[in-house]
Each structure stands twice: as C-alpha cells, then as structure tokens.
Amino acid sequence: TAIQVMIKCLKSEHRVLKKEAAWVLSNIAAGSVEHKQLIYSSEAVPLLLHLLSAAPFDIRKEVAYILGNLCVAPTKGDEKPSLILEHLVTLVEKGCLPGFIDLVRSADIEAARLGLQFIEL
C-alpha cells in the first residue's frame, strides 16, 4: 500500500525523502476516519513517535501534523472537530507529549502552534 511505501521512506537515511514521506502521510491523515485508521493501525505509529522526539526539526514538525491529524475526525462546515479518543489516548500513553512540548518551546511559530493544539486536545 501507499502507506507501507511511506513508512519505508520514513526509515530512509535521506532527510528530504523522510520529510516528504511525512508530508504525504500528514495529508492522508487529514482525510477520512478510514484513512486515519489505516495509518493508526500500521507500523507507522511507533516510528512516528520515535521521529517526533529524535528527528531533525523539519521532520518532527511534519510528524506532529500526522499525529495531530490522526486524533481529530473530519468535520463539515463550521462544526467543532471531534476527537478520535482511542488514537489520542494511545499516542499520549506511548509518550508523545514531550515531543509536542518541545515544539511549543521552539522559535518556529507554526511548530509552537501545532504543539499547543495537540496539548489542548
């Protein structure tokens, strides 16, 4: 599947390839609940959690988008986003908060906003 290919790219030592794969996964994770579930139930989650804490900043930022997108169901119009609680609880239990807190502390405004948005979930 495309997700398996992106996971393989995330394991690459090629930084640009890793960042682009994370970008693709963040777009997939922004889609339907079914798309979110495909990523959530794959081997991607442990890898993403590792990258959130250990990868270069630009990759960590993309990974934050993926993880955040996995936890929020799509909405119609101006509806308030609803949480996918199972995803959120699992990610927090597996230790994602320190990575998001690091983003909040960064000088990058967009990354800080991402970190805060996740923590507010």
Count of the separate structural domains present in the chain: 1
Cα–Cα distance, 46 to 19 (Å, whole number): 17
Which domain does 85 fall in, by range?
2-120
- Per-residue pLDDT at 75: 80
Give the CATH number for residue 77: 1.25.10.10
User: What pTM, to 2 d.p., does this model score?
Assistant: 0.93
Full 3-state SS string of 47-71: HHHHHHHHCCHHHHHHHHHHHHHHC
Q: What is the pLDDT tens value at each position of the chain, 121 positions in all?
A: 899 999 999 999 999 999 999 999 999 999 999 999 999 999 999 999 999 999 999 999 999 999 999 999 988 777 777 899 999 999 999 999 999 999 999 999 999 999 999 999 8
- Per-residue pLDDT at 84: 93
